[in-house]
Amino acid sequence: MAETKKKIIQAEAAGGKKLKSVPAKKPARSQVAAKKAGTKTTKTKAAKKASRAGTLVIVESPAKAKTIEKYLGSKYKVLASMGHLIDLPRSRMGVDVDHDFEPEYLTIRGRASVLKDLTKAAKTSEAIMLASDPDREGEAIAYQIGKYLSEKEPGIKIERITFNEITQGAIKDAVGAPRAIEMTKVDAQKARRVLDRLVGYNLSPLLWKKVKNGLSAGRVQSAALKLICDREKEFESFIPEEYWTVEVSLKAPRSTISADLALFAGERPQIRDEKQAKAIVAALEGKPALVSDMRSSEKIVRPKPPFTTSTLQQTAANRLGFSSKKTMQLAQKLYEGVSLGAQRSGLITYMRTDSTRIAESALAEARHWIEEFHPGQLPSQAQRYASGSGSQDAHEAVRPTKVGLNPDDVSRFLSKDEFKLYTLIWERFVASQMISAVIKVTTADIAIGEGIFRVSASSYIEEGFYAVMKLAVAKEEKASRSLPLEKGQILDVERIQGSQHFTQGPSRYTEASIVKALEELGIGRPSTYAPTISTLLDRYYVGRQARQLIPTALGRMISDILTKFFPDVISTGFTSRMESLLDQVEEQSVDWVKVMKEFYFPFKKRVDEVMSTLSSKKGQLDEATDRVCELCGKPMVKKLGRFGFFLACTGFPECKNTKSVPVAVCPKCGGDVVERKNIKGKRKTFYGCVNYPVCDFITYDKPTDKPCPKCGWFLVERADKAAGTHKACINPSCDYLHSRDSGEGED
């Protein structure tokens, strides 16, 4: 520009003529565009870098995400994967058996949108923390999500965090101590997943072809089904024997006391029938009653360890009547977080554990609480409990996150069932850190003629841990009374009578007892107990009646086939051994591919042999009936469907008429009584008349096909502590009790 001005001045001086100013040359359009693009790129990078100001935390459930996000603040974004996003395909086996059993992982159908949201959030985050559950499944979920996001967003920092409880302190401690993915846990989960897929995807098609479409078989569920079927065979083969007892009702100064005959003519009575009982009663009637002996002893009752998954499910079933599935669903809610007014907090620690270990900080907190509220029940040092020999001890026992949050304090924030389960967990944990109870057991012998009647009562010398036990202890466990008797005291005899009983055979499994059996036999892990039972019920392999698990005809058939042709695969020994091998994979002491090779190829050969030689069982569960289809006039047959038996027209597919199977004749109108399902309410199964609403007859007791010999109504199956499992008349005005009349025991 300066040079241009100089030329103009020189020209004007030489020629006297004024020249126009020459403007500077404009840059080309491409140069301008490039300059703008460069500026824009620089700004975009800067903006992107500035937007990556937070950390993305990925958990499994939305409830957990909601709780954790409040603890971490605005610099963290917490999203939920809602479990597995990447897994084996559903439509095929998805395991390459010829190449070291390499699994084929795909995005689970319907979960792509979740992965898309996580990827979008990852692009605006400077780091990712994978916070799935602290177990093998959680580690595998973290690995798959981390691998996927690292491929979508190369270079982003990805770390793993775990915590045993969802409290502000635990979450902040976890965020401050991230770690890498534990590949040994991932390999152990992969081995389990592959093994279960190899078993299920070979046995299930066999059952489809030979028994019925839509069936399934699994390594753990088939072993559990065999246990239930074997117990049912024992139950059915047991022949009850009649026996009698003789009781006396005595009038003490301020109470009535009942006592049982312990000795007659110096010997323990063996009363086989009513005739013997009546003879003894006749020999004792009219004789005075004398308290001939009084003696006392002390019994020490130690507190039980805090809950593991198994003992929690067992106690919830026995004390609260909860199914294993319901217990775990409620525990999940208590673990993930509950709104407590102004704050949100997890109330219990991680609920899938086989350990009774307790953190030192929790022990100190429990002792501080006991010292404040029950100082007399505080032991000199903390109580520590040894876990079982097969325990992985990866997590603490199930306990409250804060002992100070006692059940009464949080009751208004919980549902009725959540409150019950939390109370159970809180009481069990606090009691485990208190002193033993000392109980005085007083026994009195009352002489009447040649008979000695005996009665005992218990009272506390030291209440100990029972001071906090309300819901978590059975009434019969608590000492509550003493005997108002003295040696040499004369008592008035109100009544002497005999009572009929029958010996009880092996009891059917309940959800509590099958969980205990699975744990003791080493079948499955804490996370598998509830799903295993649910699968057996959902597949109609097992039914539930009065809390007892009873195999169906379908369940028995499947168990018989698998037991006959694959005894090693569904044996408790094999299943337990495989669990041990999976643990060793995590410990890096076993090569999981070698384990798969040793198992699979002989197993597959056996499956192929059975597939070609086993005759079809299809239709064997169908039963002919005397009923005729009202639509086409053809006979109806009783068939097994997904939800149990039903009546179907033999004219199918031309006629698609189906009906519920009648289980009894309605005593009110003579119509059919059928099983019905109530979606709402605690008792979902009931039995009602098909002529509803004209006829309103219903019952919650399961009808039998036997009529009452007294009134003609039908008998139902009932269970109570006094009579055990028995048949009784449905007629409220009829007192017929089947087991007492015919001498039969449990059915």
Phi and psi torsions of 669, nearest 5° = -125, -5
The single residue of 71, 143, 350, 509 carrying the catalytic annotation is: 350
Nearest partner of 231 among 551, 547, 565, judged by Cα: 551
**Separation CA 717–CA 39 (nearest Å):** 84
- Cross-strand pairs, 702: 717
The 3-state secondary structure of 217-239 reads CCHHHHHHHHHHHHHHHHHHHCC
**Separation CA 718–CA 703 (nearest Å):** 10
**Separation CA 411–CA 380 (nearest Å):** 32
Contact 251, 495 (CB under 8 A): no
* Element of type H or E holding 624: strand 623-628
CA distances (Å), 384 to each of 310, 396, 401, 433, in order?
19, 12, 18, 8
On the question of a cis peptide bond just before residue 693, with omega within 30 degrees of 0, the verdict is: yes
The 3-state secondary structure of 57-86 reads EEECCHHHHHHHHHHHCCCEEEEECCCCCE
CA distances (Å), 144 to each of 251, 296, 618, 720, in order?
74, 64, 41, 51
**Separation CA 191–CA 586 (nearest Å):** 10
**Separation CA 319–CA 502 (nearest Å):** 26
Q: Which stretches within 587-658 are classed as H helix?
A: 592-613
Task: Pull the structure tokens for residue 483.
Answer: 């005997």
* 3-class secondary structure, 392: coil
* Element of type H or E holding 447: strand 437-448
- Cross-strand pairs, 718: 726
Buried b (16+ CB within 10 A) or exposed e, 549-578: bbbbebbbbbbebbbebbeebbbbebbbeb
Phi and psi torsions of 480, nearest 5° = -140, -5
Task: Pull the structure tokens for residue 717.
Answer: 């199956």
**Separation CA 628–CA 655 (nearest Å):** 12
Contact 692, 677 (CB under 8 A): no
**Separation CA 710–CA 541 (nearest Å):** 36
**Separation CA 355–CA 389 (nearest Å):** 10
Is residue 350 annotated as part of the catalytic site, yes or no? yes
For the chain, how long is the longest CA-to-CA vector? 161
**Separation CA 447–CA 259 (nearest Å):** 11
Nearest partner of 232 among 601, 585, 548, 497, judged by Cα: 548
422: how many CB neighbours lie within 10 A of its CB? 25
Catalytic residue IDs: 350
